[in-house]
Every structure is written in C-alpha cells, then in structure tokens.
C-alpha cells in the first residue's frame, strides 16, 4: 500500500509499502554538490554548456519539423476534402453518397476543434471555478460574443462549402491567407508616434512610425486587391453572382471576428463578479484573461449548436440547390453507407484532425520553450509555400486521387494574384510575430488571445491569436521585479553558513553580470535574520562566526560595514559585488520574539509594511512584482535555481508560491535513507499535487513567495497559539511552513513545484537528531492535512485549484499514514509466512507479538526518559532490520516461484481456455510488486540524472519498520514535547539514557553483592611544594609529622583534645539516622565519630578512599555509603556575615570547639587571620588536631581566608551602581559573598541564580534577570596563555594567583595539569564562590588551541568593536518601534506571563487520544484483513483475501495516478528546462 508522509520545510517524503509483502518504491538522490561547483556557470548552472545548447537546437529543429508537417498535413487534407466535394457536385455527375460523406467529414473537421475548446474551457474556467477568479463576461461582451459566433459560423461554413469547393487547390491555399485585413486596419490605428518616440531620437522614431504605417498600408492593399480581383475573375468565369460576393464577405467577416479588438470586446469581465481580483492585485488585463474561459465556453457552445444547422442550409440550398438532403438520405444510400468511409477517407479525416490539434499543441510548446521563431513563426509562414509546392509536385502524379480540380480552371494569373495574399500576411503580422517574446513557461493566456484553435484556417488563426498587441508597451515600460532573499539563522555550523553565503555570492555575481548587460534588470537583496544574534550590545559567538566568514565567502571587507542600532537589536550591511545589498539583522531576544516563525513574520513585516510602501518612484515595488525568496541557513543553491522559481511566478498571477527540488546532504546510512525519502516525496507527491491540484507545502528552506500573497495571510500567520488548543500548537509552531501554505491555499492562491530549481540542505546524520526532526514533522504534517480535509468545503469554494477529488486523494494518504504500523506488522508476518511456510496460527502469533511490542514501546515512550526512548528505538530498529531481511527473502522467493509458474502454466492456460476455464498464474502480491518495480524504474529513467539513487531503496526497505512503526509511535507519544529537537543547546544537568540507567544498575548491584570491583577513586590534585613530596595530596588530610617546635604546650593540647572529643564532637542524631537509613552495621557509627565526621556536612562528598581509611572494609558498604554521601549537600559557607576574628571563622567552619586551642596558639583577632595562611597540615597536627575530617575542613577554611580580604574581589563600582539602579543595594553583601564582584559576572544570570545568591523576592529576581540580559557578556577566548598568571588575568581571577601557585600551578607547563580539574577539586583548593567556580571551569574548558575559524572570530570581534555604530533612520526606527509596541505579534512575552500549564494538559490529552485512536485503527485494520477472507472464491479463480486484494487495487490506482502526474510534470519540467537554455549565437 501507499503510505506517504508528506514532510515539512520542503522536505516531502513518501513511503510506498505493500500491505501483504512489503513492496518498495524507487528513489532518487543527488550526489553531494561541492562548493566549488557554485562558481561555475553563474546564473545558468550548466544550462549553457555546449551539449545542452545543442540539445535545444535539436529540439528547435524537431519542433520546426513537427509544426510545419502538422500544419501542412492539416491544410492539404482539408483541400483534398473540399476539392473532392467540388468534383462530386459537378452538375453533370452528382454522387449523393460521396457528397454526403464528404459533407459530414468537413462538418466534423469544423466542429471537433470547437468541441475541444468547449471541454477545455469548461474544465479550466467553469467546473468548480469561482466567479471571483474566473468571472463571467459583461452583458455587452456576451452580446458581442454571440453575434461574432453567429457571423463566424456563417462565414466559415460558406468558406468551406461554397468557396473552397469552387477554387483550384493552389488558389484555395493562397486564399486562406486573406483574413488579415481588419487586423491590419487596427494595427494601423494603434501605431502612434508617442509610443515609439519614447527613449528614441526624433528621426529614428519618425522612421519607425513611417515604416510601420507603410507596412500596414501595404498589407491592407495586398490583402484587399487580390481578393477583389479573384472574386471578379470567378464571377466572369462562372457567371455566378453569389460566389464573387461570398468570397470577400467570408474573409472579411472571419478577419473581423478573429481580430484582437473583437476578441477583447467579447472577453471583457464583469466588475461585479471578481471582488478578489483587487485582493490578489490582479490587473484588469489579468482579470479579462481569466474571463476569456467562460466567454469561449459560451461561444464554443453556440458554434457547436449552430454549425450543423447552418451547414445543412448552405449545403442543401446554396451548394446543391436542393438536390441533396444530407440529413435525409436517398433511398439507395443508407446511413451505414454515409459513415462507412474508405481507408483513404479515414486516413484523410484523422490526419486532418490530428494535424490541426498537434500543430496547435507543438506551437504552444514552442512558445513555452522560447522557441517561438523556430516552432511558430517560421513553420507557419512556410506552411502556405510548402503546401503549394507539394500540390504542384503531385499535380500530375496524384496516384491516390487525393486532389481533384474544382469548377474553376487553373489560371496562372489568378494564382499569381492570390500569391499576394501571402505577402500581405507577412507584412501585417510577420514582423510582430517574429519579434514577439513571452516569459519563460508562460501560460496560454499570455501567449494567445483566446483558448481555442481552428481546424480550417489553422496557421492563420494561430497567427492572429498570438498575443502581439503589448510588445511595444513592454519595450517602453518594463516592470522590474524585486527579490528579497530572506534567510533565518540560529546556531548553524561554520560549514553550513559558508555554504549559504557562497550561494548568496553566486546570486550576487549573476546580478552583477545581468546589471552590466541590462541596466533595467531585476533587483536582488539579501537579508539574514539571526535569532539571538546579539545580547545587549555584544554579538554572540554564532553571529561573530557568520561575520567572520563574509570576507572569504562574499568577498566583502568586514571593516566596510554599516552598523546600525535598531529597536530589535543591530543591523550590519554591506554591498556584495558592488550591486547587491546584503544585511544581517541581529535579533536581541529580549526585544523581539525568537524562533523561526517569528523571524519569518519579522521579514514579512519588513518587506510588506516598510520596504514596499517606502519604495520610491525608481523601484516601483508593488505586492505583485516583489517576491521573497526564503532560505534556510544551511542551504546551497545556484543563481539559476533562484531565477527559475521566478519564471513560474511570472507566468501566472494566481501563483502565490513556488518550491524547488530539495536534495539532502550528508553521509552514512541515514543520509542514504533520506536521499530516497526526499526523492520519492518530490517525484510522486509534489508532482502529483502540482498536476492534480495545488502543492500543499512550499518549505522555507528554499521557496519563492509573491508578496501580495503573503500580505493576504500575514495577519493570521502572526497569531499566537491558543493555550487550550493543542492542534494549534502543532499546526503553527511545529509546522510553520506548511501552515503558511495552508493559509495561502485557503485564500485562493495556487502553489506550484518547480523541479528545474534545485537546492541542497544538510540532513540529520545521527539517529537521535533524525527521530527528533521527524517527531516534529509528522504530527504537524498530519495536523495541517487534517485541517485541509475538515475545511474542504470552504477551501474548494475559495480555491479553484483544489477540488473535492484532490481532497479525497489527500484523505486516502492520511489514512494510509494512520495504518502504517499495521502495514509494517503485516509486512513482517507475511514475509515470514512466505519465507518459511509457517502456519496461519504462527502468523497470527507473530502479528500479536509485534502488536504487543509496539504497544509496549508506546507506553515506554510515555513514561520513559527522552534519551532512553531513542536508545530503545535504536535497538528495536536493528532487530527489525533483520526481520525485513527475512521479508525481502520471502518476497524474492515468491516472485521467482510465480515467474516459473507463469512459464509452466502457459500451456495449461491454453488447455483450460479450450475447456472454458481460465487460470491466472500470478498472485496479487507478485503483480503488485512487479507493477511497482516497473513504475519506479520508469520514474528513475525519466529522472535520468538521478537514476543511480534507486539503489538507496534497499536501505529504505530494510528501515521500513523503523520509519513506519517506531517513528510514528515515537512521534505520537511525544506530542507533548514542545522542544524544536534540532540545533538546541543541551540542557545541563539532565540525566537520562544508557549512562544514567547503567549507573543506577551498577550501584544497585554493587550495593547488594559487592561485585564489579572498579576503581572509583577520583582524580587527585598534585601539590608540588618544597616541603612535600609530589605524591602527597591536599584532599587526603594526612601528612607525615615532621619534628619541629610545638606551637601549643603539650599539657594544654592533651587536656583540650580530651575535652573536645568527649563533649563537642559527639555523633549527631542526623548522622546516626543517616547511617540507619543506609542500613549500616552499628559499629560504623564509632568509626565516623572517631575520625570527626560528626555532622552530615562533613560526610558529604566522602570518597571510597575516605571510607576505607576510617576502617570500613566491605566493598559493598563502601560503594553504598559513597553513593549516599554524594547525595548529601556539600559544605560551602554559612551566612556568618563579616568575618572579624578567628572565632567567627571557626564558627563558619562548624569547628568552634577549637577556639580555645587556636587562642592558646595566638590566633585570635582579625589580623591573625592573615597569619593562618601559612599553616600546613603538620602544623595543625602539632596543635593537636588529628581527625581526618577536621584537618580537611580547616585546610579548606585556611585556603578560603586567601580571598576573604582580597581587595580584588570586593564589589566594583559598576556592580554597586547596577544594584542601586535596580533598587537592591541591600543585597550587595550577597553578591560579594558569591563572587559577583563586577558586572561581567552578572551578565546572563537567571532567576534561579539570583535565588541562590539569596534574593527571595520573586518579582525582584525576574526584574534582575531582565536587566542582566542587557549587560555585556564576558567571552572567554580559546587559547594557551603564557603561564597560569596570564590565564587567571584573562579570566579576571588574578586574585587567585598565589593560591594556584601554592598548589603548584605556576608555569605554562602546569596549564596542562589544569585540564583535569573538576569543580570539586577547585572547592578543595578553597575556591567556593559560585561565580568564581563557574568562571574558572569555563576557563579550563577553553584551554585548547583555537582553530583557524576561532581565531578569525576573535579577529572579527576586534574589527567590529572599531566600527562606528549609528542609529537607524527615523522612518525605519518608527516602523520597528510600532511593530514591537505592546500588543503587537513580534513583541516578546515574558516567561512569567505565559500560561503553559493549560497547553501542556491539552497536548497530553491530545497525545493520549491520538494514541488510543491509532491503536484502535490499526487493530481493527489487522482484524479486517484477516477476518474478511472468503475461501469459496477460490472456486471462481478469485483470491480468497478479497478485501486485501481490493485494498491493494485501490492503492495501485493511486500510485498509477501519481505516476501519470509525474510523467506530465516531467514534460512541464523538460519544457521549462529547455526554455532556460540559451541558444547558440
């Protein structure tokens, strides 16, 4: 079955799956395009190579031959019929049967084109078309059409039955050219001096006027004189008054009704029936062109009705003088005799019908390709001479009797005279037809005045119908287009940015070349809208990265930059190739909304509401001639790809947007999978939408939009998501590109797909990113399609390109998506049945097992962590790939078996056929697979440059369960996940996945059995001091006691030790309870008390080494206690206020019991705090402090004294002023305590950071968070400094220089040792301030050699700091201030004002309901397929699984429809592609 997922952002995918055996469709992909190719053939990209130009010349020659052959065949077969009719009606020999047969043949020749016109105009402009876009003609135009149709019927019938039957064949051929008299008169009146003097010299303009008037006058003379001369000659020869009068009157009437003036009058639209024309900015001429369909529908209907009656009257009473009644046959001639034509008659008749039709079609194709001279002008002008030459050549050798002379004798004077008619035709329309040009891939309405052709005067009707009246107007007043290339950017890699910038440079080079050739060429501008590109006045890293690439990618000097401060942030502008403006709009997320949709709203507002209204008289920007080319930041395209999109927008004002063919870029299996996915999505889905109705998604990665179309939907597109409507969130925020296109379709615009335009975009290469991306695409696609289906009646009434059948087609595709899990399950089960011939009960068991596993995975996705969901999907995908290998083997086995059976059963079928029975040897599955294989091989052939990509169908087939079963379940189960999924910063501190899961299992297992003996000792910090060996450590708390003079008297020390051990350091109740909770033996309490771990703050962070040191030997208990200790909050610092003496210092360390001991040693006052810094561990031990926990805490406190009174860490004046400005100076001590001593530490702090500082007021925290965003951020550059001192200075942490030096970190070689430090290690050094820890850890992470790109970023930052900052002009500033005012869509909403709780609940409710419906549908589908089986049908040689076979037949029909649409679209693509190829000079 066909189960397509139509993708978002251009990226459409379709899956083709066989419900029974899992057949797979073809694929295509484009090899990765290197950046070097962007510099080749700028603006033409391969279409101007010699080979392609030779192809176009060959196509031109072929069209010339086809058009000339078709028109000559049409003319000669018509002349043959009329000449034979004239011979059959000779007065002496009347052949009623032959005459009547020829009458009906000629009547059909006249009427068939009218019937074709009737059907065509009915489908194109009547059926299902609104009068608002396809208006009815006015009453006056309707009257003109009726009258002109009546006169045309009479004149054409008289010409065929009265004139051509009496003229010699050569004279008749030339006489057909005499219908240009009225057109010559109209052209004579239309040529004015003012038209041609514009932009010319006076003499040249006068010569042009005289030349044109002379040619028109000469044409009138050469048209009128031969007709009158021939009429007089015929009257003299035949002595018949009627024929000489009929000839000029017929030609004059046809000339009048086919003139452009009469056709314009007959197609004038009623202004009351097209109110939306103004909304779409259609001109009055465009509206008139749309009314021509209904005008010609009515006129062709009138002609179809009148032709039989008028021809009957003329044939019976004027031609045969009442001798033959063509409707009442003679007794000797039956109706069978009349319509039983000979082979010659049949050949002539169908040759004339096909020749006329194909001649018109090939002429139309020639104009579309830009080959109007080769395929229209030259062959139509040569048609008459070639026809005459053929007639002369066979005049005496008419073996088949195709031509018979008429009543009038052949006269050379008459022939020479009527030859002047052909010359008159050349003078009247020759120059105009030769010079006429139309836009590439132009619609029929812009190439021909009326949508019809004529089978009698084919080339004359095409020449008169060709639109030539506006040629000089186009030459005088050319309306240039303006194209804004708008790109959204966030956190792309430098390679992706460079790829996009190179494409922009390619376009600028093309623009520069076109500007040199033509001063009035189209205008291009490029704008990049960068989310989070600036923070306050500082450019972010990614913005600097982009600017650093401009010099190499765009060839601009970064210094030559216009830097403007705007209400939304900053705008940086350059001029690329000295012609194309290039701007980077750096968005400050505190001033304007972030994310892609709001960047789109931003540039739409900028172009539609500022640039277009502000355009001056030289640009003439309007909504209809201004376009926005949207691109992603990682896109790669050529200038030609951009220009060809505009061709389709130019060709039809109803087209609101055009998308291109997107190719993925990357490497690996997932890239191959997506190559196939993208290919079939464009081959079949996009092409089918383009042909059958309207493209439903023009992705923002590379599409062109008409500005007036965007203007009609911008207000709706800018609306916020309702908190109570989960589907709105999926439609608007998860699928913004598709929603924009849905709005355009609802407004009546047509969206198209251009396969000539190609682009390349990076695709996910890892499993997680791919699943996250598709998790966003699939629900948004289905939600938008559901919106289209539910509002089908409204959309079909409002959009002429969307029909009920098209909506039904989309509904089937949505249903196929819903049942894709059941499809995959049936595919695997049937594959096992085919490969191993398992019983039906075993197949059912497999189905039930897979179904239960699918349900289990759905439940796991609901309750499991995000990363664990993806890990399980990886494992399941690997297993299911193996299953699909079995399925592939089973399918291949069945196909081989059926092929052998087909050969063997041929003789049996013949025998059975004799007995009246029939046996069909192929199973439905084999037929289905064979059909799919053939269709997609053909699809690959018509996409010949992508045929090799069919190979990737293998990987796609094997990954079907992952893409259709697991991915769909994962997407639906995560409907409540509102994250974007790609290019997002990782959330720090979030645990999940295999690592956390394994950690939990390891810990639990080790706590039980003491197994998995793994070294858990953390890295230690080496302290290289003169009096300590390199192996000793600070954190161990143990050092050898060196003989030295005692600091405290031994008696005092021993007395004090006993005192504190008995009274002060008893084990607290919290520690005892903690040990009980961990289920430790009671004796462990004495171990903790003996070594000083009397409080939980001392136990926090204990390592396995510490636990073993105090005497715990059981490995299981060590690991359990270590894990429990990690969960305790680490000691940092108590809020002791200002530390004025040693007693307060000890109290902060929770060791105030040692106060007497330190007092006895002489450490009392504030000044003595500085003396403590010289104490080492052995000094503390000599003082009588031996407990491990206390030694570590005191050493930590001594290190902390280092910066407590360091003036470098006192609050700077900028922080004090900032706190005063924000009315929170009372918290100055809190900021100083946590290390936020200058504003660069405060920049970017969040509300939770201010809460950790000690600010309890929520409102104040939120205000400080807003203000902190505007502070300049501190950026740490990568690099290896000269030494540790230089490194600390670069971090503004030079106050710690002595501390690091004491720990042995001084020289440049010691910087390598810093790389291994963790936050806990810094805390053990005595660095406890939160801000300082963060800054130092960031500095350690940046200790690496910078890349060339990082050096370039740093250099760019320095350059931009020297660029002068100006304010945007008043008009632009006023526009942006208005757009960002309160209540406007672009104004950011504070997080505190958002009510996300209701949306979360709504999304979860939608998720649960969708999962339930999905489960129910798939279970019911499986049950239906296995329940509706009728074994009795086998007796009638029908499949027992009738329902399944019917379902396969329906989807086979759908794929055939898609295939037919693809073939039709390839024809349009070929025409478009060849039209872009420049011919050789």
Residue 884 three-state SS = helix
- Indicate the pLDDT class of residue 1046, thresholds 50, 70 and 90: very low
User: DSSP class of residue 521?
Assistant: -
Residue 347, both tokens = 């050949």
The better pLDDT of the pair 1311, 834 is held by: 1311
- Indicate the pLDDT class of residue 1430, thresholds 50, 70 and 90: low
Query: Do the strands 562-566 and 482-489 form a parallel or antiparallel pair, or are they unpaired?
Result: unpaired
CB 154 within 8 A of CB 253: yes
- Indicate the pLDDT class of residue 1348, thresholds 50, 70 and 90: confident
In tens, the pLDDT along 367-389 reads 888 788 888 899 999 999 999 88
What is the DSSP secondary-structure string of 1104-1139? HHHHHHTT---HHHHHHHHHHHHTSPPP------S-
Q: What are phi and psi of 585, to 5 degrees?
A: -95, 110
CB 1387 within 8 A of CB 593: yes
Per-residue pLDDT at 414: 67
Least reliable range by pLDDT among 47-51, 373-377, 999-1003, 1009-1013? 1009-1013
Short-list 160, 75, 168, CA closest to 111: 160
Residues β-bridged to residue 269: 137
CA 101 – CA 103 distance, rounded (Å): 5
Residue 965, both tokens = 């079963």
How far from 37 is each of 40, 49, 555, 637, 1343, CA to CA, in Å? 5, 14, 17, 10, 38
CA 154 – CA 251 distance, rounded (Å): 11
State the average pLDDT over residues 1336-1363: 88
Per-residue pLDDT at 546: 94
Short-list 358, 362, 367, 365, CA closest to 447: 367
In tens, the pLDDT along 1399-1425 reads 888 899 999 999 999 999 999 988 888
CB atoms within 10 A of CB 1089: 19
Least reliable range by pLDDT among 279-293, 647-661, 729-743? 279-293
The rounded mean pLDDT for the chain is 79
Query: Do the strands 569-576 and 636-637 form a parallel or antiparallel pair, or are they unpaired?
Result: unpaired
CA 869 – CA 863 distance, rounded (Å): 9
Least reliable range by pLDDT among 8-22, 274-288, 376-390? 8-22
CA 504 – CA 1166 distance, rounded (Å): 67
Per-residue pLDDT at 13: 40
User: DSSP class of residue 107?
Assistant: H
Q: What are phi and psi of 1136, to 5 degrees?
A: -95, 0
- Indicate the pLDDT class of residue 961, thresholds 50, 70 and 90: very high
Residue 452 three-state SS = coil
User: DSSP class of residue 91?
Assistant: S
Question: Is the pLDDT score of 1140 beyond 80?
Answer: no
Instruction: For the sheet with 750-762, list strands across it.
Output: 636-637, 750-762, 655-665, 702-706, 626-632, 482-489, 523-530, 580-587, 569-576, 562-566, 1365-1367
**Tokens 């290998």 map to which residue?**
885
Least reliable range by pLDDT among 516-520, 529-533, 650-654? 516-520
Q: What are phi and psi of 269, to 5 degrees?
A: -85, 150
- Indicate the pLDDT class of residue 14, thresholds 50, 70 and 90: very low
CB 505 within 8 A of CB 562: no
CA 129 – CA 708 distance, rounded (Å): 21
CA 1094 – CA 1098 distance, rounded (Å): 7
Per-residue pLDDT at 714: 94
Least reliable range by pLDDT among 692-696, 1025-1029, 1260-1264? 1025-1029
**Tokens 């979860």 map to which residue?**
1404
Per-residue pLDDT at 1097: 83
* Alpha-helical regions (H) of 837-923: 840-863, 866-914
Side-chain-side CA neighbours of residue 426 (13 Å) = 13
In tens, the pLDDT along 1248-1261 reads 888 888 888 888 88
In tens, the pLDDT along 1017-1041 reads 333 333 333 333 333 232 333 233 2
Per-residue pLDDT at 340: 66
- Kindly report the three-state secondary structure assignment for every residue of 180-192: CHHHHHHHHHHCC
399 burial type by CB count under 10 A (0-12 exposed, 13-18 middle, 19+ buried) = exposed
**Tokens 């090799």 map to which residue?**
948
In tens, the pLDDT along 314-336 reads 988 888 877 777 776 555 555 55
Per-residue pLDDT at 29: 35
In tens, the pLDDT along 978-991 reads 887 676 654 333 33
Question: Is the pLDDT score of 876 beyond 90?
Answer: yes
Residue 1003, both tokens = 């810990």
647 burial type by CB count under 10 A (0-12 exposed, 13-18 middle, 19+ buried) = buried
22 burial type by CB count under 10 A (0-12 exposed, 13-18 middle, 19+ buried) = buried
The better pLDDT of the pair 898, 947 is held by: 947
**Tokens 């043959």 map to which residue?**
80
287 burial type by CB count under 10 A (0-12 exposed, 13-18 middle, 19+ buried) = buried
How far from 571 is each of 483, 1282, 1386, CA to CA, in Å? 19, 37, 17
The better pLDDT of the pair 801, 912 is held by: 801
CB 161 within 8 A of CB 315: yes
* Alpha-helical regions (H) of 1205-1257: 1213-1221, 1228-1233, 1239-1242, 1247-1253
State the average pLDDT over residues 1138-1165: 80
350 burial type by CB count under 10 A (0-12 exposed, 13-18 middle, 19+ buried) = exposed
Question: Is the pLDDT score of 1344 beyond 70?
Answer: yes
CA 312 – CA 326 distance, rounded (Å): 7
Q: How far is CA 588 from the centre of its chain?
A: 26
CA 301 – CA 1245 distance, rounded (Å): 77
CB 8 within 8 A of CB 738: yes
CB atoms within 10 A of CB 168: 24
Output b/e per residue, 258-283; b: 16+ Cβ within 10 A. bbbebbbbbbbbbeebbebbeebbbe
Residue 962 three-state SS = helix
Short-list 1305, 1334, 1325, CA closest to 1235: 1334
Global confidence as pTM: 0.78
Query: Do the strands 534-535 and 655-665 form a parallel or antiparallel pair, or are they unpaired?
Result: unpaired
CA 219 – CA 222 distance, rounded (Å): 5
In tens, the pLDDT along 183-222 reads 888 877 665 544 444 444 555 554 454 456 677 788 788 8
Residue 146, both tokens = 């009726």
How far from 716 is each of 597, 785, 1190, 1269, CA to CA, in Å? 12, 18, 68, 31
State the average pLDDT over residues 867-882: 92
The pairs formed by 563-567 with CB atoms below 8 angstroms and a separation of 24 or more are 563/1360, 563/1363, 563/1364, 563/1365, 563/1366, 564/1365, 564/1366, 564/1367, 564/1368, 565/1365, 565/1366, 565/1367, 565/1368, 566/1368, 566/1372, 566/1373, 566/1376, 567/591, 567/1368, 567/1373, 567/1376, 567/1377, 567/1380
């Amino acid at each position: 079955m066909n189960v397509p997922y139509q993708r978002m952002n251009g990226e459409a995918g379709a899956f083709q799956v066989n419900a029974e055996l899992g057949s797979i469709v073809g694929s295509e992909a484009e090899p990765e395009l290197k950046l070097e190719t962007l510099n080749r053939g700028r603006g033409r990209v391969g279409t101007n190579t010699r080979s392609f130009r030779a192809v176009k010349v060959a196509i031109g020659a072929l069209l010339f031959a086809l058009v000339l052959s078709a028109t000559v065949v049409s003319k000669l077969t018509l002349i043959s019929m009329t000449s034979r009719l004239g011979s059959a009606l000779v007065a002496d020999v009347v052949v009623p049967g032959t005459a009547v047969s020829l009458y009906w043949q000629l009547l059909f020749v006249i009427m068939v084109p009218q019937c074709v016109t009737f059907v065509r105009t009915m489908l194109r402009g009547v059926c299902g078309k609104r009068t608002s876009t396809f208006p009815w003609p006015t009453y006056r135009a309707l009257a003109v059409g009726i009258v002109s149709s009546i006169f045309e019927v009479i004149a054409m019938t008289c010409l065929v039955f009265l004139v051509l039957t009496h003229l010699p064949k050569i004279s008749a051929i030339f006489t057909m050219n005499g219908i240009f008299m009225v057109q010559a008169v109209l052209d004579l009146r239309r040529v004015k001096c003012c038209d041609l003097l514009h932009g010319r010299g006076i003499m040249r303009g006068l010569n042009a006027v005289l030349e044109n008037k002379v040619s028109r006058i000469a044409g009138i003379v050469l048209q009128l004189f031969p007709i009158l001369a021939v009429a007089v000659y015929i009257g003299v020869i035949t002595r018949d008054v009627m024929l000489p009068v009929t000839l000029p009157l017929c030609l004059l009437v046809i000339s009048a009704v086919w003139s452009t003036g009469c056709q314009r009058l007959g197609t004038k639209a009623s202004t009351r029936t097209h109110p939306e024309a103004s909304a779409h900015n259609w001109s009055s001429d465009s509206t008139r062109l749309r009314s021509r369909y209904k005008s010609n529908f009515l006129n062709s209907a009138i002609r179809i009705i009148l032709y039989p009656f008028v021809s009957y009257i003329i044939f019976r009473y004027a031609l045969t003088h009442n001798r033959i009644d063509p409707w009442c046959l003679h007794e000797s001639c039956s109706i069978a005799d009349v319509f039983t034509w000979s082979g010659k008659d049949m050949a002539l008749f169908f040759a004339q019908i096909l020749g006329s039709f194909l001649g018109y079609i090939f002429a139309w194709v020639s104009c579309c390709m830009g080959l109007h001279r080769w395929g229209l002008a030259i062959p139509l002008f040569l048609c008459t001479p070639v026809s005459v030459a053929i007639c002369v050549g066979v005049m005496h050798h008419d073996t088949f009797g195709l031509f018979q002379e008429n009543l009038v004798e052949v006269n050379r004077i008459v022939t020479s005279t009527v030859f002047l008619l052909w010359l008159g035709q050349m003078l009247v329309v020759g120059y105009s037809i030769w010079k006429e040009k139309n836009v590439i891939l132009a619609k029929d309405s812009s190439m021909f005045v009326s949508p019809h052709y004529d089978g009698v005067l084919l080339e004359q009707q095409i020449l008169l119908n060709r639109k030539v009246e506006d040629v000089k107007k186009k030459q005088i007043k050319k309306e240039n287009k303006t194209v804004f290339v708008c790109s959204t950017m966030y956190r792309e890699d430098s390679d992706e940015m460079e790829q996009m910038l190179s494409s922009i440079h390619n376009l600028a080079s093309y623009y520069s070349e076109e500007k040199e050739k033509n001063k009035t060429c189209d205008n291009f501008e490029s704008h990049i809208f960068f989310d989070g590109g600036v923070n306050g006045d500082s450019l972010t890293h990614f913005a600097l990265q982009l600017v650093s690439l401009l010099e190499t990618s765009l060839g601009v000097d970064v210094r030559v930059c216009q830097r403007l401060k705007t209400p939304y942030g900053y705008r940086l502008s350059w001029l690329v190739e000295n012609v194309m403006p290039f701007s980077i709009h750096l968005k400050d997320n505190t001033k304007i909304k972030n994310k892609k949709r709001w960047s789109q709203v931003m540039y739409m507002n900028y172009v539609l509401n500022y640039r277009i209204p502000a355009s001056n008289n030289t640009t003439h920007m309007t909504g209809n001639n201004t376009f926005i080319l949207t691109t992603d930041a990682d896109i790669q395209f050529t200038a030609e790809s951009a220009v060809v999109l505009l061709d389709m927008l130019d060709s039809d004002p109803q087209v609101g947007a055009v998308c291109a063919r997107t190719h993925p870029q990357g490497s690996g299996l997932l890239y191959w999978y997506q190559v196939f996915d993208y290919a079939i999505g464009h081959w079949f889905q996009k092409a089918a939408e383009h042909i059958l109705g309207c493209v439903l998604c023009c992705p923002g990665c590379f599409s062109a939009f008409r500005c007036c179309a965007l203007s009609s939907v911008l207000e709706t597109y800018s609306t916020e998501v309702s908190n109570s409507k989960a589907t709105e969130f999926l439609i608007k925020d998860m699928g913004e590109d598709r929603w924009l296109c849905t709005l355009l379709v609802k407004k009546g615009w047509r969206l198209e797909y251009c396969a000539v335009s190609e682009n390349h975009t990076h695709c996910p290469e890892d499993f997680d990113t791919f699943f996250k991306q598709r998790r966003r695409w699939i629900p948004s696609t289905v939600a938008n399609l559901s919106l289209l289906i539910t509002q089908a009646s409204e959309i079909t009434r409002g959009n002429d390109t969307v029909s009920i059948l098209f909506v039904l087609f989309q509904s089937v595709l949505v249903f196929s998506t819903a049942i894709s899990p059941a499809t995959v399950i049936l595919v695997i089960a049937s594959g096992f049945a085919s490969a191993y011939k398992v019983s039906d009960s075993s197949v059912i068991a497999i189905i039930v097992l897979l179904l239960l596993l699918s349900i289990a995975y759905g439940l796991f996705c609901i309750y499991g962590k995000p990363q664990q969901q993806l890990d399980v999907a990886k494992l399941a995908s690997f297993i299911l790939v193996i299953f699909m290998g079995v399925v592939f083997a089973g399918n291949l086995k069945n196909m081989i078996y059926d092929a052998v059976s087909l050969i063997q059963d041929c003789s049996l079928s013949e025998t059975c056929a004799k007995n009246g029975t029939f046996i069909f040897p192929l199973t439905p599955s084999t037929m289905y697979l064979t059909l799919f294989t053939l269709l997609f091989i053909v699809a690959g052939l018509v996409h010949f440059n992508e045929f090799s990509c069919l190979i990737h169908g293998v990987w796609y087939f094997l990954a079907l369960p992952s893409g259709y079963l697991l991915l769909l379940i994962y997407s639906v189960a995560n409907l409540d996940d509102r994250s974007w999924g790609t290019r997002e910063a990782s959330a720090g501190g979030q645990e999940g996945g295999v690592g956390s899961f394994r950690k939990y299992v390891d810990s639990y297992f080790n706590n039980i059995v003491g197994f998995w003996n793994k070294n858990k000792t953390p890295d230690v910090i080496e302290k290289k001091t003169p009096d300590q060996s390199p192996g000793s450590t600070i954190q161990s708390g143990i050092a050898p006691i060196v003989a030295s003079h005692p600091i405290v008297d031994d008696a005092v020390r021993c007395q004090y030790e006993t005192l504190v051990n008995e009274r002060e350091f008893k084990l607290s109740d919290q520690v005892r309870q903690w040990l009980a909770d961990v289920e430790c033996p009671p004796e462990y309490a004495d171990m903790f008390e003996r070594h000083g771990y009397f409080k939980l703050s001392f136990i926090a962070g204990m390592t396995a080494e510490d636990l073993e040191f105090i005497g715990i030997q059981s490995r299981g208990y060590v690991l359990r206690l270590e894990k429990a200790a990690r969960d305790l909050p680490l000691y940092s610092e108590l809020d002791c206020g200002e530390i004025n003496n040693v007693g307060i210092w000890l109290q902060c360390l929770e060791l105030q019991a040692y106060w007497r001991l330190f007092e006895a040693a002489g450490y009392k006052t504030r000044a003595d705090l500085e003396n403590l810094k010289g104490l080492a561990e052995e000094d503390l031990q000599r003082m009588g402090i031996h407990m491990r926990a206390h030694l570590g805490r005191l050493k930590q406190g001594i290190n902390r004294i280092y910066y407590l009174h360091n003036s470098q860490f006192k609050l700077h004046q900028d922080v004090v002023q900032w706190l005063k400005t924000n009315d929170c100076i009372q918290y100055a001590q809190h900021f100083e305590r946590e290390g936020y001593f200058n504003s660069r530490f405060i920049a970017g702090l969040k509300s939770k950071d201010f809460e950790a500082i000690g600010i309890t007021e929520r409102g104040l925290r939120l205000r400080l968070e807003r203000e902190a965003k505007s502070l300049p951020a501190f950026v740490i550059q990568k690099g290896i400094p000269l030494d540790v001192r230089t490194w600390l200075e670069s971090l503004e942490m030079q106050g710690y220089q002595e501390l690091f030096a004491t720990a042995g970190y001084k020289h440049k070689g010691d910087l390598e040792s810093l790389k291994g430090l963790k936050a806990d290690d810094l805390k053990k050094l005595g660095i406890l301030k939160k801000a300082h820890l963060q800054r130092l850890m960031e500095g350690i992470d940046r200790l690496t050699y910078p890349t060339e790109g990082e050096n370039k970023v740093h250099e760019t930052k320095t350059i931009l700091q020297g660029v002068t900052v100006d304010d945007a002009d008043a008009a632009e500033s006023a526009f942006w201030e208005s757009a960002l005012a309160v209540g406007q869509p672009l104004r950011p909403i504070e997080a505190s004002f958002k009510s996300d709780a209701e949306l979360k609940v709504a999304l979860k409710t939608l998720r649960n309901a969708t999962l339930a419906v999905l489960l129910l549908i798939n279970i019911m589908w499986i049950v239906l397929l296995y329940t509706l089986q009728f074994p009795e049908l086998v007796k009638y040689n029908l499949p027992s699984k009738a329902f399944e076979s019917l379902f396969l037949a329906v989807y086979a029909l759908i794929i055939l429809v898609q295939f037919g649409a693809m073939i039709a679209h390839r024809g349009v693509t070929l025409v478009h592609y060849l039209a872009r190829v420049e011919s050789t000079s």
